């Protein structure tokens, strides 16, 4: 469904990713692991049309998307929750959700999506008129995910959703992402917290220095000595 093949990408003429190939099937949660600077965010940004693609190909439901603008990706249902959340801090929670729904055509459709988001994150209904910048870190992450859901994604990309969150709060975010996936939305999640994602995802890729160093099902990756030593704190 989402396929990346032989990707060489970065910023300007500088390549960060080298010959990266991954696949996100329709019914899976796929983890993208690696240390800070390994290339996870660059890959998410390349898939979203926000980084320069120098070679290789990205396909979404069989369609080549290399030349699409970021807006073009969103129109096709490939939606990113960015690292750091990037909310409109002075705007209200409700207004941030409205910004996520700019492609929604009717008020009825908007209300359906809003009800969906509120059912998933009830606190966002309670905080509807509060400035987004005054929310807690966990509430801001819920709002960032909710804003992405307002555009009715066919695939959800999450970039470092644990950033700045306590482990318990991150666990609650993952629970919500699991519920989203069970509704038929595949997920690509880029994370440094390998232990959590290996328990959560169906399949994982590990990036090192802009390349895929390991890939496989979580059980097999957890048994790899190098993965255990580098990412799980075990020898």
Q: Say which CATH number the domain at 26 has.
A: 3.40.50.300
Do 169 and 148 lie in one domain? The reply is: no
Which of 130, 152, 174 corresponds to the end of one domain?
152
What is the rounded CA–CA span in Å between residue 82 and residue 41?
Answer: 9
Do 67 and 103 lie in one domain? The reply is: no
Residue range 81-134, pLDDT digits in tens: 999 999 999 999 999 999 999 888 888 989 999 999 999 999 999 999 999 999
Element (H, E) at 230: helix 225-231
Q: How many domains does the chain have?
A: 2
Which of 108, 126, 152 corresponds to the end of one domain?
152
Do 20 and 59 lie in one domain? The reply is: yes
Do 55 and 164 lie in one domain? The reply is: yes
Please list the pLDDT of the chain residue by residue as tens digits (235 residues).
899 999 999 998 889 999 999 999 998 999 999 988 899 999 999 999 999 999 999 999 999 998 888 889 999 999 999 999 999 999 999 999 999 998 888 889 899 999 999 999 999 999 999 999 999 999 999 999 999 999 999 999 999 999 889 989 999 999 999 999 999 999 999 998 888 899 999 999 999 999 999 999 988 888 777 777 777 655 4
pTM: 0.92
Do 54 and 164 lie in one domain? The reply is: yes
Do 1 and 71 lie in one domain? The reply is: yes
Q: Are 3 and 59 in contact (CB under 8 A)?
A: yes
Do 148 and 165 lie in one domain? The reply is: no
pLDDT in the model for residue 233: 59
| Phi, psi dihedrals of residue 166, rounded to the nearest 5° | -65, 150
The structure tokens listed for 195 are 């232990």
Do 163 and 234 lie in one domain? The reply is: yes
Do 59 and 167 lie in one domain? The reply is: yes
Q: What angle do CA 214, 217, 219 make, to 5 degrees?
A: 105
pLDDT in the model for residue 162: 92
Do 66 and 97 lie in one domain? The reply is: no
Do 93 and 183 lie in one domain? The reply is: no
Taken as a whole, the chain contains a residue count of 235
Q: What angle do CA 145, 147, 151 make, to 5 degrees?
A: 110
Which of 152, 177, 208 corresponds to the end of one domain?
152
Q: Are 58 and 46 in contact (CB under 8 A)?
A: yes
Give the DSSP letter of residue 82: -
pLDDT in the model for residue 208: 92
Count of C-beta atoms within a 10 Å radius of residue 128: 14
What is the rounded CA–CA span in Å between residue 64 and residue 2?
Answer: 10
| Phi, psi dihedrals of residue 211, rounded to the nearest 5° | -130, 160
Q: Are 198 and 204 in contact (CB under 8 A)?
A: yes
Do 119 and 179 lie in one domain? The reply is: no
Sequence-distant (6+) residues with CB within 8 A of 173 are 138, 141, 142, 145, 161, 162, 165
Query: What's the farthest any 2 CA atoms get from each other in the chain?
Result: 56
Q: Are 155 and 2 in contact (CB under 8 A)?
A: yes
Q: Are 73 and 49 in contact (CB under 8 A)?
A: yes
Residue 38 domain boundaries:
1-77+155-235
pLDDT in the model for residue 56: 96
């Amino acid at each position: 469904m989402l396929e990346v093949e032989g990707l060489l990408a970065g910023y300007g003429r500088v390549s960060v990713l080298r010959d990266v190939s991954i696949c996100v099937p329709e019914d899976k949660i796929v983890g993208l692991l690696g240390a800070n600077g390994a290339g996870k965010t660059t890959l998410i940004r390349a898939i979203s049309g926000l980084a320069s693609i120098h070679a290789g190909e990205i396909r979404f439901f069989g369609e080549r998307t290399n030349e699409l603008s970021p807006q073009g990706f969103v129109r096709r249902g490939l939606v990113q929750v960015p690292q750091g959340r990037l909310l409109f801090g002075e705007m209200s929670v409700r207004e941030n959700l409205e910004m996520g729904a700019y492609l929604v055509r009717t008020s009825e459709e908007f209300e359906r999506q809003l009800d969906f988001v509120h059912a998933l994150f009830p606190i966002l209904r309670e905080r509807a008129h509060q400035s987004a910048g005054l929310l807690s870190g966990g509430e801001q992450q819920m709002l960032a995910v909710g804003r992405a859901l307002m555009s009715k994604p066919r695939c959800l990309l999450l970039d470092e959703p644990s950033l700045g969150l306590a482990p318990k709060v991150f666990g609650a975010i993952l629970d919500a992402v699991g519920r989203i996936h069970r509704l038929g939305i595949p997920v690509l999640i880029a994370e440094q917290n390998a232990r959590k994602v290996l328990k959560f995802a169906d399949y994982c890729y590990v990036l090192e220095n802009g390349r895929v160093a390991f890939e496989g099902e979580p059980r097999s990756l957890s048994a790899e000595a190098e993965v255990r030593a580098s990412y799980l704190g075990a020898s």
